[in-house]
Amino acid sequence: MISFNSENDFVLADPEQLETWITEVVANENFELGEINYIFCSDEYLHDLNVKYLNHDTLTDVISFDYTVGNVIQGDIYISTDRVADNAKDFKVSFAEELHRVMVHGILHYCGYKDKSDLELAAMRRMEDYYLNRFKG
């Protein structure tokens, strides 16, 4: 089950399509879908989580708390819609494309992809691009 929640005034435009897409990503990665909670929030809200739980005093676009057990993907994915909007401008892409990228980024972490080294980050970006191209939204 996938749920979409907001801690700010953000309203997701196409939740049914996104749920179908994320479900397909999980299945394609040979995992089972458990409970995924997307929480959309402000920079301030996500910064507070970043400091409190990760000891990172920086702004970020997404934080994933992974509760995966075995092959069943579960977790909470917090996304700053402020950061997504700024990054979309910086990368010259639409807000929707950048939002979808960070949404799948969190899922890919649950599937075992990392992004700490340049090599890991390159693999993560390839998979993000692959799944973005499969999205029909």
pLDDT at residue 136, as a whole number: 67
**pLDDT tens readout for residues 58-104:** 889 999 999 999 999 999 999 999 999 999 999 999 999 999 999 99
Q: Which helix (H) or strand (E) holds 21?
A: helix 15-28
Listed in order, strand segments (DSSP E) in the chain are 2-6, 32-41, 62-66, 72-80
Q: Residue ranges for the binding site for Zn(2+)?
A: 105, 109, 115
Q: Residue ranges for the binding site?
A: 105, 109, 115
pLDDT at residue 137, as a whole number: 53
**pLDDT tens readout for residues 29-43:** 999 999 999 999 999
Domains and CATH numbers, the chain: 2-134 (3.40.390.30)
Buried b / exposed e over 23-35, threshold 16 CB at 10 Å, is bebbeebebebbe
What pTM was computed for the model?
0.93
